[in-house]
């Protein structure tokens, strides 16, 4: 079926374990209908960062080709995710005098610019400037000051920076795969878009996206982003723990983890066992499931404790009236909800993509949160598939800075 090009949006999640393309169509309710999904194993990504262009290009082509077959759409441009240890974020504030006594769009642009006048190391660029609140003549918690009267306009923002080289390698891989990158978003902000509700973001929530290579967090309060962080530890660490703990190959450890993985020993019966293939031609062994659960529980506790420490250090813990939402492949472990809740001392739910129509069943798994969120953000901010970047890698940052000005609309 032929589709109007400007109605089709594509999220491309370049993850450590898989590259995933979600094709969506904007629907009558201003939401999206999923019309295609394609996924391919990724071998050129380490801890969220492109380390091998050729294998990444191949995986992008494979994922996009399957999404195209399912949707009948020819994918020309995407909204891509960015992650990795190079991401830094912090809060900043800016202040300007209101020129005409009434706040205009240009005053808002200027105050955002003044908030972003911070020292950023060479080789790094601002990815996102997200307003938290505007303050007009001392009156705070203003979400949209345009049209209001006042003389002194302040803004508090959350700024995310990333390595230019990482973003360049994402656009380069896509360009080589014949696809233009229209925009780049921090992956946990994309996942948040897919799995969180507006209420949760309003009263305070922490999103934790546990992928294969990294575990990313984003804290929201009063509808705005207050903190983002990337932890370079993920599902692959659980696999490695099982590889050594159960003396088996990495491939078998991964299979056991997916099939039987449980992060709470209490949920495993004392007599339950698993068959573990050995290496070097030795016969398989029967191992108690609680041994496996013990290994996984230790790693899950470590990750949750790191997040607890981060929330306490940044004084965010008391902001989280809606608790924690976990997504990404790691949230699929049996017992993860209970374990995270007991370590963090907060309510925890598992987040799968919500509020999407069409082939919603196909993406009903936390591993698709980022790709669905990217497609949603593309639909919110993208103009059309016809707007294709020139293949010039600098173009994305230009686009990002243009978009910064639209954040106000997006997050409030």
Ligand X SMILES: Nc1ncnc2c1ncn2[C@@H]1O[C@H](COP(=O)(O)OP(=O)(O)OP(=O)(O)O)[C@@H](O)[C@H]1O
Residues that bind ligand X (CB under 6 A): 13, 15-18, 48, 83, 211-214, 234-236, 254, 257-258, 261, 328-330, 332-333, 367
Nearer to Mg ion, 181 or 367 (CB): 367
Taking the complex as a whole, the smallest distance from the CB of residue 209 to Mg ion amounts, in Å, to 6
Write out the binding residues for Mg ion, residues 183-242 only, by CB under 5 A. Answer: 211
Cα dist from 118 to 67, 121, 127, 325, whole Å:
41, 10, 13, 31
Taking the complex as a whole, the smallest distance from the CB of residue 353 to ligand X amounts, in Å, to 12
Nearer to ligand X, 204 or 212 (CB): 212
By a kind-dependent CB cut-off of 5 to 8 A, residue 18 interacts, out of ligand X, Mg ion, none, with ligand X
State the DSSP code for 265: G
Nearer to ligand X, 212 or 382 (CB): 212
Taking the complex as a whole, the smallest distance from the CB of residue 17 to ligand X amounts, in Å, to 3
261 touching Mg ion, by CB under 5 A: no
Nearer to Mg ion, 133 or 370 (CB): 370
Taking the complex as a whole, the smallest distance from the CB of residue 346 to ligand X amounts, in Å, to 21
Cα 292 from Cα 257, distance rounded (Å)? 9
Cα 300 from Cα 153, distance rounded (Å)? 45
Establish how many alpha carbons lie within 13 A of residue 355's alpha carbon, considering only the half-sphere containing its beta carbon: 15
Instruction: Spell out, one character per residue from 97 to 136, where the chain touches Mg ion: x when CB under 5 A holds, - when not.
Output: ----------------------------------------
Instruction: Spell out, one character per residue from 318 to 357, where the chain touches Mg ion: x when CB under 5 A holds, - when not.
Output: ----------------------------------------
Nearer to ligand X, 333 or 397 (CB): 333
By a kind-dependent CB cut-off of 5 to 8 A, residue 234 interacts, out of ligand X, Mg ion, none, with ligand X
By a kind-dependent CB cut-off of 5 to 8 A, residue 17 interacts, out of Mg ion, ligand X, none, with ligand X
Nearer to ligand X, 82 or 359 (CB): 82
Nearer to Mg ion, 181 or 264 (CB): 181
Cα 133 from Cα 313, distance rounded (Å)? 22
Length of the chain: 412
Stretch in the footprint of Mg ion (CB under 5 A) among 9-17, 28-36, 150-158, 279-287: 9-17
List the one residue out of 271, 321, 274 whose CA is nearest residue 295: 274
**E strand map for 71-123:** 77-82, 88-97
Establish how many alpha carbons lie within 13 A of residue 53's alpha carbon, considering only the half-sphere containing its beta carbon: 13
Cα dist from 15 to 12, 179, 383, whole Å:
9, 17, 25
By a kind-dependent CB cut-off of 5 to 8 A, residue 304 interacts, out of ligand X, Mg ion, none, with none
Cα dist from 399 to 86, 115, 148, 223, whole Å:
20, 19, 29, 24
β-sheet with 124-136: strand ranges across = 88-97, 152-163, 124-136, 139-142
Taking the complex as a whole, the smallest distance from the CB of residue 117 to ligand X amounts, in Å, to 32
Give one DSSP letter per residue of 135-155, joined into a string: EETTEEEES--TT-B-SEEEE
Taking the complex as a whole, the smallest distance from the CB of residue 83 to ligand X amounts, in Å, to 6
84 touching Mg ion, by CB under 5 A: no
What contacts 361, CB < 8 A, 6 or more positions away? none
CB 160 within 8 A of CB 186: yes
Nearer to ligand X, 83 or 379 (CB): 83
Taking the complex as a whole, the smallest distance from the CB of residue 69 to ligand X amounts, in Å, to 21
List the helix and strand counts (H, then E) for the chain.
12, 19
Cα 387 from Cα 76, distance rounded (Å)? 9
Write out the binding residues for Mg ion, residues 370-409 only, by CB under 5 A. Answer: 370
Residues at the contact surface with Mg ion, assessed by CB under 5 A: 15, 211, 370
């Amino acid at each position: 079926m032929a589709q109007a090009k400007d109605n089709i949006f594509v999220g491309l999640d370049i993850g450590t374990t898989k590259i995933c393309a979600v094709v969506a169509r904007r629907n009558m309710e201003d939401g999206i209908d999923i019309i295609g999904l394609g996924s391919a194993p990724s071998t050129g990504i380490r801890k969220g960062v492109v380390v091998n262009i050729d294998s990444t290009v191949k995986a992008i082509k494979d994922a996009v080709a399957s999404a195209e077959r399912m949707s009948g759409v020819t994918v020309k441009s995407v909204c891509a995710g960015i992650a990795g240890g190079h991401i830094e974020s912090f809060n900043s504030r800016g202040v300007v005098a209101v020129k005409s006594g009434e706040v205009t769009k240009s005053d808002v642009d200027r105050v955002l610019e003044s908030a972003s006048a911070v020292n950023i190391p060479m080789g790094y660029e601002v990815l996102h400037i997200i307003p938290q609140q505007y303050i007009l003549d001392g009156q705070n918690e203003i979400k949209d000051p345009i049209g209001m009267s006042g003389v002194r306009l302040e803004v508090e923002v959350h700024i995310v920076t990333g390595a230019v080289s990482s973003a360049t390698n994402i656009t380069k891989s896509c360009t080589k795969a014949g696809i233009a990158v229209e925009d780049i978003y921090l992956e946990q902000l994309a996942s948040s878009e897919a799995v969180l509700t507006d209420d949760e973001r309003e009263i305070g929530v922490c999103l934790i996206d546990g992928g294969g290579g990294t575990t990313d967090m984003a804290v929201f309060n009063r509808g705005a982003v207050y903190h983002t962080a990337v932890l370079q530890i993920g599902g692959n660490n659980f696999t490695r723990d099982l590889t050594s703990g159960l003396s088996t190959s990495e491939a078998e450890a991964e299979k056991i983890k997916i099939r039987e993985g449980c992060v709470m020993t209490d949920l495993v019966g004392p007599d339950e066992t698993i068959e573990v293939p050995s290496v070097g031609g030795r016969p398989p062994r029967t191992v108690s499931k609680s041994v496996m659960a013990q290994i996984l529980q230790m790693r899950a506790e470590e990750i949750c404790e790191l997040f607890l420490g981060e929330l306490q250090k940044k004084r965010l813990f008391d902001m989280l009236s809606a608790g924690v939402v976990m997504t990404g492949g790691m949230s699929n472990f049996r017992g993860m909800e209970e374990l995270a809740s007991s370590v963090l001392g907060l309510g925890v739910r598992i987040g799968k993509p919500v509020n999407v129509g069409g082939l919603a069943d196909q993406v009903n798994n936390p591993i698709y949160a980022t790709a669905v969120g990217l497609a949603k953000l593309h639909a919110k901010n993208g103009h059309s598939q016809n707007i294709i970047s020139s293949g010039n890698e600098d173009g994305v940052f230009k686009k990002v800075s243009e978009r910064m000005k639209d954040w106000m609309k997006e997050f409030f």
